[in-house]
Amino acid sequence: MRMGRVWEVALKDFAELSTNKAALFGLIFIPALLTLLGVASTYMVTREISLGHLSAAQAPAAIYASLLLLLLIPTTNSTVVGSMSVVLEKTGRTLEPLLATPIRDRELLWGKAVPPLAIGVGGAYLAFGIVFLAGDIFLASAHLPIEFPGGMGLFAMLVLATLLGILSTFVSLLISSRSKELRTAQWFSFIVALPVFGGVIAAFAILPHSWVDYSVAVAVLVALTAVIIWWTTDRFERVTILLGSP
């Protein structure tokens, strides 16, 4: 696989996305709102501890629950960008010239995967970083000796956000490559991605705070992500992309 071709496709998609004001608004507004909610939730937990309504031992679990909401960022952003990626090329009639170039199917796929991954996972990392910084400030100002973000917070950011971003990216790319309209591509992409997100939230909210249980759950998510990547790579072919066949 020639990385020059991959980056050529990725940079082209970044340039096209930068001119889509409606998409940019959603990609900025939703993460900003979720980040604000994360900061507010962290502040409320700190305040409850200071007032004695919540013990220091209960604080990590309460803060961790609020961090799970930030996992919606890689899910939604990667899905939005990925679902737009191929279908807009079809409607804009720029796909045929691209496919006429000597680019391999996998180079095209990974070039298309870079923007949704960067925007979804990168946006999640930024949001987590802001909430982590705000939490440290709140806890320090209240003189509370609580480790933050701690192992659970870093786990949510580095593992869950990354896996959800990857899974959402490849699901939406596969659906976008088979769709002829943007609305259809986004609708079906969210139908697949959001239940996975909901399942992850439910699993990690219900499971006891045990690294053994978390490891098993992550192994299942990794296996699901690997299957999606393999399936998308196997079926991402220029002929079926042009025809929009299943």
pLDDT tens-digit readout, 193-234: 888 888 888 777 776 666 777 788 888 889 999 999 999 988
Average pLDDT value for the chain: 82
Task: Label residue 245 exposed, middle or buried (CB < 10 Å: 0-12, 13-18, 19+).
Answer: exposed
Orientation angle between helical segments 59-68 and 105-141, nearest 10 degrees = 150
Residue 42: its pLDDT value, please?
Answer: 83
Mean pLDDT of 15-35: 88
Q: Flag whether pLDDT at 191 surpasses 80.
A: yes
Instruction: Take residue 197 and report the two structure tokens written for it.
Output: 């997100």
Q: Flag whether pLDDT at 245 surpasses 60.
A: no
Q: Which residue has the higher pLDDT, 174 or 239?
A: 174
Residue 151: its pLDDT value, please?
Answer: 67
CA 176 from chain centre, in angstroms, equals 17
Cβ count near 79 (within 10 Å): 30
Mean pLDDT of 28-54: 84
Long-range contacts, 132-135 (Cβ 8 Å, 24+):
134/38, 134/39, 134/42, 134/43, 135/42, 135/46, 135/63
Please, which pLDDT band fits residue 235 given cuts at 50, 70 and 90?
A: confident
Please, which pLDDT band fits residue 59 given cuts at 50, 70 and 90?
A: low
3-state helix, strand, coil in the chain (%, to 5): 85, 0, 15
* Closest by Cα among 112, 101, 70 to 201: 70
Mean pLDDT of 154-182: 86
* Closest by Cα among 132, 159, 158, 128 to 147: 132
- Which residues are CB-neighbours of 64 under 8 A, at least 6 positions away? 150, 152, 153, 156, 209
**35 in Cβ contact with 133 (< 8 Å):** no
Long-range contacts, 123-127 (Cβ 8 Å, 24+):
123/27, 123/31, 123/73, 123/74, 123/77, 124/31, 124/70, 124/71, 124/73, 124/74, 124/77, 124/157, 124/161, 124/165, 125/157, 125/161, 126/31, 126/35, 127/31, 127/34, 127/35, 127/38, 127/70, 127/73
Q: Flag whether pLDDT at 244 surpasses 60.
A: no
> pLDDT by residue (tens digit) across 94-137?
666 766 677 788 888 899 999 999 999 999 999 988 988 888 88
Q: Flag whether pLDDT at 152 surpasses 80.
A: no
Judged by average pLDDT, the poorest of 34-48, 56-70, 129-143, 183-197 is 56-70
